[in-house]
Amino acid sequence: MVYGVRLTDIDTSVSNSSMDGILNEFYPEIIDDAKNVLHWLEEGKIVFKSQDNSDSVFEYEDFRSEAEILRTCVRYS
What is the DSSP secondary structure assignment for residue 57, as one 8-state letter?
E
Residue of higher predicted confidence among 62 and 71: 62
Alpha carbon distance 63, 43 (integer Å): 10
Residue of higher predicted confidence among 36 and 57: 36
Alpha carbon distance 69, 58 (integer Å): 19
pLDDT in tens, 1-34: 667 766 666 666 667 667 777 778 888 888 888 8
Q: How far apart are the first and last CA of the chain?
A: 13
Alpha carbon distance 69, 64 (integer Å): 6
Residue 46: pLDDT band (50, 70, 90) is: very high
Phi, psi of 48 (to 5 degrees): -75, 135
Q: For residue 64, is pLDDT > 90?
A: yes
